[in-house]
Structure 1
């Protein structure tokens, strides 16, 4: 049995929300006021998806919803659109967790990239259909590219610096449920 007590589990969940708030604050603080700056990769998407594959009990659906909805509010994005799409993408991964754990990293990376492309493009199309202001397509493509490149770096940091890996077969959580 894994040595994750319920208290430690809640500390991980709280840490996820706090890291999300740090990334939101990082996004809304104006560091560069030049008009032609490149988009920043969505590192928190990478963290969320990597944690769902490795330790889904650390990121329950309510925490994903809370952080991404707060991001929509504070960045003045269309309220709940990105949140809904990311929650749907995360639940696709969570629903197929055993398959994702058996994949080699390249296939996992391809799936995360596909989900992010789908989320970004559906969001872009919905914004265009509702005649809302949408980011330029070039910016969206660069955002996709940078986020896809950032995913393996995020997983590497989680694995080698933080020790968060995919669970071994037969490992259980604090309540005896098989991971």
Structure 2
């Protein structure tokens, strides 16, 4: 049983890495040659939050840090800045995962929305303090709202397609302990 649990955990960790790489691949495709007037949701952040709340053992801190840093480098953001704030938010959500386990989806969504807003504000303030031109305010707010609205869809995909569900009180975690 422990071997099966370990195999599942590592399989899901690889799946998460693959999801992030696929999102980055499609983000980098040159589909338009002119600048867009809109921006889509940050699906990497949404998936990271969903997995951090539902199965924290599937997204270890080192993997999240590496994948967020990869996204920073490929998307031409200041290296490590967004990664730091996103990682801190994921770790904060992981620490609250047991408390949110028994609550409704509305509580989870509210917690995630607050955390997304905190990350966006902290990132924008850090860019302003370091004299880096932040992206347009309207685009940043639109991306934040789109990410918040897409979170239930991400959770639906995570739950129904990928099988990443909240831990039940009697489930075993990656180390074979009861949750």
Q: Give runs of aligned pairs for residues 80-95 of structure 1, distance below 5 A.
A: 80-95=80-95
Compute the displacement of 1:173 (Å).
Answer: 2.6
Identify the residue that residue 19 of structure 1 maps to in structure 2.
19
Q: Which sits farther off after the overlay, 2-11 or 18-27? A: 2-11
Structure 2: gaps (5+ residues): none
In structure 1, distance between residues paired with 2:47 and 2:4: 20
Identify the residue that residue 6 of structure 1 maps to in structure 2.
6
Q: Give runs of aligned pairs for residues 83-122 of structure 1, distance below 5 A.
A: 83-122=83-122
In structure 2, distance between residues paired with 1:135 and 1:177: 45
Q: TM-score, normalised by structure 1?
A: 0.93
In structure 1, distance between residues paired with 2:43 and 2:58: 17
Count of residue pairs the alignment pairs up: 179
In structure 1, distance between residues paired with 2:85 and 2:28: 21
Kindly report the root-mean-square deviation, in angstroms, between the aligned alpha carbons of the 2 structures: 1.7
Decide whether the 8 Å contact of 2:51 with 2:58 is kept in 1: yes
In structure 2, distance between residues paired with 1:30 and 1:37: 16
In structure 2, distance between residues paired with 1:53 and 1:77: 26
Structure 1 segments, 4+ long, off by >6 Å, are none
Compute the displacement of 1:154 (Å).
Answer: 0.8
